[in-house]
Structure 1
Amino acid sequence: MAHQYNYSSQANSRLRQGGAVLILMAFILGLGAVAYLLKAYNADAAKAKQDEKTYQALSAAKQALIAWAVSHPNTPGLMPYPDRNGDGNYDGNSDCYTGVFQYGFLLGQLPTVGQTNPCVTPQTGLGGDWRDSQGNRLWYAVSRNLVHDYEHSESPVINPGMNNPPHAVTPYLRQGGIQSYPWLKVLDRNGNLVSDRVAAVILAPGSPIGGQNRSAFAPNASEYLDSFQKGAAIYNNRAYATADEDFVIGEDSSNVPASDLTFVQPYQFNDKLVYITIDELMATIEKRVGREVGTQLKDYYVASNAIIANRFYPYAAIMGGNKNYSCVVGKLAGALPVAASHSSSCSYTGISATSSTSSCSFAEVEAVIFTKTSLNFTYRAGACQFSGKICTCSGAGTCTRATQ
């Protein structure tokens, strides 16, 4: 009996010791799992914090770029050229070129410092130096529709009529072509179209990836901006070759394991991107125009530079590209009268029944009607038409009875 009791005690002791070892092992394994999870959580949290900082910089730069363009003193909506390495450096200045245009001129770093000759005024910067969370300056690409054409010395016509190119009629014949250009495109990670109405994109390059080397004084765009392949299609942010060039919002490499065969491996991409559509740019331009028009009309009404205030508003102008937008007496609705008053007039001479003549010498009228008291008109010229004794002129022209 005593031997049996001793044996059971020893067995129970060994069982207790084994149980303690298992508990200790489970505890150690649990600590390891917790440490791993904490490490992964901390890495994800750090990555999320870095991305948040980058997108804050991108958003601030976007708002500054819109403000710079909309507040342009001569051409509201005009955007600066990027800072390229064509001059041997990235100095923060916009690099304008008066030679033959190339689309590559429209991709570079964001010109935060300003513009230099030969850039048109204003030669000011965007008012900030925005960088991504890795300390890189932001990059920038802009539509050809929104930059000054230095090769042909002309600025684009920027108004709501340019929202839906291509246009093959004046006033949209700009940048040395026969029509305006399509807008830039932004694609998603699968190559699907996000927007084809993009006026400009701003990119954060992130850390060097895929063998990128930024040790040179002024590296090319390919050392900052990335590309990837999906199937036979290659998507990249490092080139600008056509008017409707596409830029891609790709998936960060940290979210694409090597086992993911959706993309051609190795997949190496970490660009971040925001974009400005022509619609949001135009909406801001229209607000500025509305404010300025209101101010100008108020000044006209008050006429503070006159001894006696006007206390009236100008008549409207005629709509149409062939008008000079001078006000037309009696016209209460139409185009804004932005041109100076004209000195043209309409006249009627009635020396005799056989030689009476009606004539208009300007185009800013909808219709001026002359009525003879006797005999019909027999000949017309220009923008005048007659019917019996009534001559109607919608522009420069003549009605007469004289033989021509």
Structure 2
Amino acid sequence: MANKNHQYRNHPGTLPKTLPRTQTGAALLAAVLLLMMASSYYLVTKLNTNLEKNQHSQETGMALMAAKNALIGYAITFPEIDAESGTDTIDGPGYLPCPDLSNDGSAGGSCSLKTTNNPVTSIGRFPYATLETDDFRDGHGERFWYVVSDNFRNNPKMIPLNSETAGSISGDLTVNGYTNIAAVIFATGAIEGSQDRSTANINKYANYIEATFSDSDGDTYIDTITTGSSDRYVLLTKDELMQMVEKRVLGQTSHMLSTYLNSQGAYPWLTPFSDPKADVRRLTGTANSGSGATTLIDTSVNIDFVEWGVAAGDVVWNATDGSVGFVSSVDSSTQLTITGMSLGTENDFDEGDAYQIQLANVLTTFSGTATLGSSSLKLEDTTKDFDDLGIVEGDILENVTDGSSGVIDSIDNDEITVTSLSGGTGNDFASGDSYLIRTNSGTVTANSTTTLTDTKKDFVTVGIAVGDLVYNVTDGSYGTITAVAATSLTVTLEYGSENDFDTGDIYSISRFNPNPVTPAREGHLAFHERGEPFTTSLDIEMYFPGSISGVANADVTTTVPVPVTVPPVISQPDYVTSINRYVQGKTIAGTATGGSATSLVDTSRNFNDLGVAVGDVVD
């Protein structure tokens, strides 16, 4: 009988067709364990890599925010930084440093987004040394890069800088569609594509930043940034920056008002707003050795009396001792002969005394005709030295011929370049064009007793309002505007030699608001309008000897001093000075019966009875 188990027996020299079940289970378990170990190793390695990347990313993000806060801190404390630099003029907060262009952490001396520069100097590394921060780096060990808008750079400055300043000099600086950007900080990461970060290319931003920089409106200034896929960046917007600057300004203003209140027992009077780009442009300086009662000498490099157009008859103030006099002659570019110094404590100029000169022909000094080198956005006038005249970047240049105007970008002796021109027929400069550096002055174009006419102005557009103060520089009279038309103002003049407007008279308006949309603003504090005259509602009693008639609030013939109430005109150079003048409205004339070089005798007159006083002018 056949064996039942024959089919399960192995023939000699052959392997079994299947393994026992115990052996099969062990092999499967080993394979699963091996797979699990491999998977675990992969997962752990991947997790560690991701954790490391996340850690680097988090560290980079924190460093970017720290760098951004450092920029804000610099902007807020800029007045103190400016003062430490030893500059003569300390500007307000809000300015940002230029980038580091040499990879040493120090900010560049000046910068610009102008595309014709090679390189564009407003793109560079983050200036950590200037900002006194850590040497911020990304996860790959690369230093941060930094781009600053031209309107917020600290050199050359855009003046004034305030909450209405746009993100760039040509409008808005845009990054990936976000507008009004003051600055961008980049963490560049690893090398991408064909970037070459060798020593020869270490300061070339294209080898670190993937972003593209473009000029969208063709004005030769970068205004648009489009970042690359690997660029990591943080934006500092204008609103973020100015929000912190405003807090600093309000805090300082509050402190100034509190100090004034504690010392004076009351808050200061308010004054109208004045466009800082429409200054009266008085010549100010400091007297040097050799100055005296009849001589003013100033050898400063930025002072040139001839270039400024100083002339006989111009008024000179000694701001240190309070005296006032007149220019008798211009002896040289550094020396004036002065006459009639009076009303001060010493009535002379000592070395170090601060002075101020009001130019009667200010329009001639700051206007002219373009010469042959003028074209496009460049004005050349070979008869001028704009550096000596104190023209700075940010001032407004007007092409009177075609009606356009623009912001000054650079000055080079007899040349001025503007960022752009707009509002005119040609919007460019050509030889023969008439130009004007914007001031709040003008020239009267028609004779009138009560109407100021200037056909080259549009008083409505620039925001001149009823109540603004007009100063007739030529005859020394003041008046308050009672009506405004496009090219004329209704004004009643007082305190001058003629109290009227003659063709060719020079006038100035202490508020000049060029914004055609926003009405002229009232209520700004007096220290915002340094050097500008303004009216107050305060009346001052002035006492005169008897025999005064025909005067408002007084018609007397007594010999006892009587009070006359006169509304003052206030001027603030570095402090408030009240200038109160009573003019009886008549000229005392006669024939000299004797005298000398320094005295006048007229035996037919009693000068005391006529009220002649020290400081009156004798012709």
Q: Which residue of 1 aligns with 2:271?
A: 317
The answer for unaligned runs of 5 or more in structure 2 is: 11-15, 80-90, 276-508, 513-521, 540-547, 552-565, 572-619
Aligned in 2, Cα 1:145/1:38: closer, same or farther, shift over 3 Å?
Answer: same
1:337 aligned onto 2:526: yes
Rounded Cα–Cα distance in structure 1 between residues aligned with 2:214 and 2:550? 76
1:223 alignment partner, one of 201, 207, 221: 207
Q: Which residue of 1 aligns with 2:67?
A: 61
- Report if aligned partners of 1:185, 1:245 keep a CA contact under 8 Å in 2: yes
Alignment-mate amino acid for residue 78 of structure 2: H
Q: CA deviation at 1:207?
A: 2.1
Q: CA deviation at 1:3?
A: 2.8
Q: Which residue of 1 aligns with 2:179?
A: 196
Greater strand fraction, Structure 1 or Structure 2: 2
Aligned length: 283
1:3 alignment partner, one of 2, 5, 23: 5
Rounded Cα–Cα distance in structure 2 between residues aligned with 1:23 and 1:98? 70
Q: CA deviation at 1:61?
A: 0.5
1:112 aligned onto 2:115: no
Q: CA deviation at 1:282?
A: 0.7
1:130 aligned onto 2:136: yes
The range that moved more, 313-322 or 291-300, is 313-322
Q: CA deviation at 1:99?
A: 10
- Report if aligned partners of 2:109, 2:155 keep a CA contact under 8 Å in 1: no
Q: CA deviation at 1:337?
A: 1.9
Q: Which residue of 2 aligns with 1:38?
A: 44
2:175 alignment partner, one of 177, 181, 186: 186
Q: CA deviation at 1:291?
A: 0.5
Alignment of 1:269-348 (within 5 A): 270-303=230-263, 310-321=264-275, 323=510, 334-338=523-527, 339=529
CA RMSD, 1 decimal: 4.0
Q: Which residue of 2 aligns with 1:244?
A: 223
The range that moved more, 26-35 or 208-217, is 208-217
Rounded Cα–Cα distance in structure 2 between residues aligned with 1:219 and 1:283? 33
Give the TM-score of the pair, scaled to structure 1. Answer: 0.60
Rounded Cα–Cα distance in structure 2 between residues aligned with 1:237 and 1:162? 22
- Report if aligned partners of 1:143, 1:183 keep a CA contact under 8 Å in 2: no
Deviation readout 1:98-146 (Å, 9 max, x if unpaired): 99955611100011223xxxxxxxxxx3433211122221100011111
Alignment of 1:257-276 (within 5 A): 270-276=230-236
Rounded Cα–Cα distance in structure 2 between residues aligned with 1:133 and 1:344? 59
Q: CA deviation at 1:7?
A: 6.1
Aligned in 2, Cα 1:225/1:350: closer, same or farther, shift over 3 Å?
Answer: farther
SS at match of 1:144: coil
1:23 alignment partner, one of 29, 51, 54: 29
Deviation readout 1:27-62 (Å, 9 max, x if unpaired): 211221222122111111111111111111111000
Q: Which residue of 2 aligns with 1:93?
A: 106
Aligned in 2, Cα 1:345/1:57: closer, same or farther, shift over 3 Å?
Answer: closer
Q: Which residue of 2 aligns with 1:371?
A: none
Give the TM-score of the pair, scaled to structure 2. Answer: 0.40
1:161 alignment partner, one of 157, 164, 181: 164
Greater helix fraction, Structure 1 or Structure 2: 1
Aligned in 2, Cα 1:15/1:66: closer, same or farther, shift over 3 Å?
Answer: same
- Report if aligned partners of 1:54, 1:131 keep a CA contact under 8 Å in 2: yes
- Report if aligned partners of 2:272, 2:534 keep a CA contact under 8 Å in 1: no
Rounded Cα–Cα distance in structure 2 between residues aligned with 1:144 and 1:99? 6
Q: Which residue of 2 aligns with 1:230?
A: none
- Report if aligned partners of 1:199, 1:277 keep a CA contact under 8 Å in 2: yes
SS at match of 2:179: strand
Q: CA deviation at 1:91?
A: 1.7
SS at match of 1:79: coil
Q: Which has the higher contact order (CA 8 A, sep 6+)?
A: 1
Alignment of 1:338-377 (within 5 A): 338=527, 339=529, 351=550
1:143 aligned onto 2:149: yes
Rounded Cα–Cα distance in structure 2 between residues aligned with 1:126 and 1:239? 33
SS at match of 1:160: coil
Deviation readout 1:238-262 (Å, 9 max, x if unpaired): 99973412142x44xxxxxxxxxxx
